Amino acid sequence: MPTIQEVMSRDVQHVSPEDSVHRAAQIMKEFNIGSLPVVDGDKLVGMITDRDITVRSTAAGKAPETSRVGDAMSTEVRTCYATQSVDDVLTQMGDVQIRRVPVVDQQSHSLVGIVSLGDMATKQTSGIGQALQEISSPTDGAAKAK
């Protein structure tokens, strides 16, 4: 059974809570990604997504150059360990409908990588289809909003 360390990306772009929202958006544009881990030192303290920037910063009328990542980021972040099985993490991703998970060191909880459905798909990991279906299914709230 493959483990996360076999499929994760180790070279992870990240920002600090003190960086500007503008800087986070620039990194997202440069690397064509929609989310960034937020680290303080080497500890993972949150994630910021393009949606966080739009909803918590831009829609609130905050200037991107002066608004801080720490004010717009999500602090409740699902993580996994490099030694966990791919199947276990895929199940977790499906359960909470997320497409990428930061990988942290089991002892220090420092950021060591990130794993996405794309990483797993390019490594031809089994279980991707079921996880993608669960992640892409609308939640009860989303279905009611339509």
Instruction: Return d(Cα 70, Cα 78) in angstroms, integer.
Output: 17
Whether pTM > 0.75 for this model: the answer is yes
| DSSP secondary structure letter of residue 56 | I
Give the model's pLDDT for residue 129.
52
What count of Cα atoms within 13 Å lies in the side-chain half-sphere of residue 141?
0
**Ramachandran assignment for 82, one of left (phi > 0), alpha (psi -120 to 50 degrees), beta (any other):** alpha
Token pair belonging to 42: 């080497």
Token pair belonging to 48: 């910021």
Give the model's pLDDT for residue 1.
72
Give the model's pLDDT for residue 2.
86
Give the model's pLDDT for residue 144.
43
What parts of the chain have a pLDDT lower than 50?
Answer: 142-146
Token pair belonging to 66: 């002066």
Which tens digit of pLDDT belongs to each residue from 113-144? Answer: 999 888 777 765 555 555 555 555 555 554 44
Instruction: Return d(Cα 119, Cα 103) in angstroms, integer.
Output: 13
Instruction: Return d(Cα 101, Cα 140) in angstroms, integer.
Output: 23
